Amino acid sequence: MIHVLEPSGIACLTGVSSGGRSMPVDLGSLNRELVLENNVVFGTVNANRRHYEMAAEALGQADRGWLDRMINRRVPVEHWSDALERRGTDVKPIITF
């Protein structure tokens, strides 16, 4: 499916196979195709509003210190490229607007 994308194309994977045939994948070739053609592939799960509400409630009850440690670096938008530089202590740097 990815090989039919035009440059700068986007593919959304919306289903999960429960079995059947498998095929080997050359990850180096796939990576080059995605990067050099500026393509995006993303997936989605079958969730609904109830799942979102359950997740929001769980996060609302989570230990605030634990949540704060997940976002360990906030970078102002004018220095956005700094957020892309991986640091040894990074978990999830974010860009603030």
- pLDDT one-digit tens code per residue, 27-52: 888 888 888 888 888 887 777 888 88
Beta strands in 14-92 (DSSP E): 40-43, 73-76
Q: What is the CA radius of gyration of the chain?
A: 18
> In the chain, what are the domain boundaries?
1-46
Question: How many alpha carbons lie under 13 Å from residue 33 in its C-beta half-sphere?
Answer: 15
Q: Does residue 77 register a pLDDT over 90?
A: yes
Q: 0.75 exceeded by the pTM?
A: no
Give the number of other CB atoms < 10 A from CB of residue 54.
Answer: 11
